[in-house]
Amino acid sequence: MNALQEKILKEGRVLPGGVLKVDGFLNHRIDVAFLDEMGRELARLYSGEKIDKILTIEASGIGIACIAARHFGNCPVVFAKKSKTSNISDDFYCAQAHSFTHNKVSDIIVSREYLSAGERVLIIDDFLANGSALDALISLCRDAHAEVVGCGIAIEKVFQGGGDRIRERGVRVESLAMVSEMSDTSISFKD
Ligand code: 5GP
């Protein structure tokens, strides 16, 4: 998506440790109109596929998942939680994810009530780096016997290899911008 590449070049900042900061439109302040365009593009890429539910992970995936859902017939959005809050039942699916930005492993959970056998699920997230978050979300779907139709990612950092590894497993992964290299002074994309 050219507009996303341009926005990353204009507003993105590369932090030490290989983190791309796009707080101005995706991870802190949210550019709703722009996320709407991203959601439209994800729906175009997955047109022809029946999607029953969108699954994401808190916190940064929630915004784009909810806006994208408007383009998928207002399908429900479920986000995996990173901690078991008191309002969640004891009946949940659980998987472990290593957080790239916080450098720690945590359990992510989804109540069994909200993920069902046979559902066709699209997984959406803001970033794809090493692929740990997607691995965990795919594993939750597998445990629930739900079908992963594919993944829709805003920004994939191709050089970290997570996307290719997951594609090699036969999972469809569509990323709206694919960063092939980045440094303090430049960001380049794979088309
Ligand atoms: P992975 O599990 O693929 O290694 O990392 C994906 C998760 O880490 C995403 O949910 C995202 O929140 C976070 N993440 C990974 N890389 C970046 C990055 O460069 N910038 C930001 N803002 N978040 C990232």
Tell me the average pLDDT across 86-111: 87
**What's the pTM?**
0.96
SS3 142: helix
Which residue among 126, 134, 173, 180 is best mutated to probe the pocket of ligand 1, counting the most ligand atoms within 8 A of its Cβ? 126
51 confidence band (pLDDT: 50, 70, 90): very high
Q: How far is the CA of 78 from the centre of ligand 1 (A)?
A: 19
Which residue among 23, 81, 96, 100 is best mutated to probe the pocket of ligand 1, counting the most ligand atoms within 8 A of its Cβ? 100
- Nearest atom within ligand 1 for CA of residue 132: 2
- At 107 the pLDDT is 94
Q: What are 130-185's pLDDT values in tens digits? A: 999 999 999 999 999 999 999 999 999 999 999 999 999 999 999 999 999 999 99
pLDDT at residue 59 greater than cutoff 70? yes
Assess contact for 150 and 46: CB atoms under 8 A.
Answer: yes
SS3 content of the chain, % helix, strand, coil (to 5): 35, 35, 30
